[in-house]
Amino acid sequence: MLHFRSFRGIGHAPLYVIVGFITILSVLPFVTDNQFYRGVAVLVCINAVIAMAWDVFSGLTGYLNFGIAFSFGVGGYIAAYLSTNFALNPLVSFILSGLGAVALGLVIGAPSLRLKGHFFILVSLLVPLASSSLLNYLIVQDGSIFGVNQLINNTSYIYINAVALFSVAALSMYFVSESNFGLLLKAIRENEIAAEASGLNTGRYKMIAFSISSFYAGLAGALYVFLNGVASPTDFGLTFSALPVMMAALGGMGTIVGPIIGASIVEGLIDLLRIDVIQDARLLIASLLLLIVLIYAPRGLWGTLFGGRKLGR
């Protein structure tokens, strides 16, 4: 299924950007052993992965997912649970976190994905909120249920994993977006009825794209929990649902490269300028940036240069 379209028009530019990011991330530890910069790089990786994960489903199919924090949170909790209760190879528990996010995502998302229209958006808004409320309730009932503390907190190990995850996620999702499979997802976005009339089982394709998205969001969540040393209900919070959307829109929806750029700008700015002392600064900064950018570049930074989509249909 994955025959790659010949690169045309924009040439290999997106691939160069991705390889450029991977190169910078790979040499950074050799250039400086400043822990702060490493920490920023890890956060950029995690945010870029979740923003690309958002894009590979919502940017390509046009089905806006306002609750990707659900997959992010589920991945994180599974990683935490596995690493505290079982002596698994970290890679195995990592993969299982992603797969768990896919499984739970499909259980909850599949019924609304089969339908056309706005059902999915509503479900996506509600599910992470409900999850975080439920978890808060459980913690009040029995504080130990999801208490996680024996996590791997070797920073080099986390750094290597972050760069590896970023690299695999960026390359694989970029190739998905440029493949025939990606073209079919864009057809759903452009006109779902015409896509069906072209012979596309749109429900199945939406679910496959949603699974890829949930998988990487789950992995990003797992890495985030490894980084923080704790899984908490805030992983399901609005921040992790809204930020990926803003980062993708800032960079350019449906381009995969756009979200990387969006994530770098938002996360990089916040951390390097140390404005994260304000509560919810991420959302605030991202919203302001997005507002300014969308006025001048409605298709996002990358999207305006190389073709992307406006937020919304």
CB of 30 to other proteins, least distance (A): 42
Measured from the CB atom, is 155 or 198 closer to other proteins?
198
Find the shortest distance in angstroms from Cβ 298 to other proteins: 13
Q: Supply the minimum distance, in Å, between the C-beta of residue 192 and other proteins.
A: 9
- Can you name the residues that pair with 253 across neighbouring β-strands? 309
Residues 6+ away with beta carbon under 8 Å from 56 = 173, 176, 177, 209, 212, 213, 216, 256
Nearer to other proteins, 274 or 313 (CB): 313
Where does the chain have alpha helices with state H? 13-31, 35-54, 60-61, 69-85, 90-114, 119-141, 155-178, 180-190, 192-197, 202-228, 238-251, 257-272, 281-296, 301-306
Per DSSP, 55 falls in state: I
Query: Of 200 and 238, which has the nearer Cβ to other proteins?
Result: 200
127-152 burial, b if ≥16 CB within 10 A, otherwise e?
bbbebbeebeeeeeeeeeebebeebe
Contact 149, 230 (CB under 8 A): yes
Q: 160 or 183, CB closer to other proteins? A: 183
> Considering beta carbons, is residue 38 or 309 the nearer one to other proteins?
309
156: left (phi over 0), alpha (psi -120 to 50) or beta: alpha
d(CA 276, CA 199): 49
62 versus 76: smaller Cβ distance to other proteins: 62
Question: What type of residue sits at position 125?
Answer: L
Minimum distance from residue 299 beta carbon to other proteins (Å): 10
Q: Which is nearer to other proteins, 107 or 197 (CB)?
A: 197
Q: List contacts with other proteins (CB under 8 A).
A: 8-9, 180, 183-184, 186-187, 190-191, 193-202, 309
Rounded to the nearest whole angstrom, what is the least distance from the CB of residue 181 to other proteins in the complex? 8
| Minimum distance from residue 64 beta carbon to other proteins (Å) | 16
Beta bridge partners of 179: 4
Q: How far is the CB of 214 from other proteins (least distance, A)?
A: 23
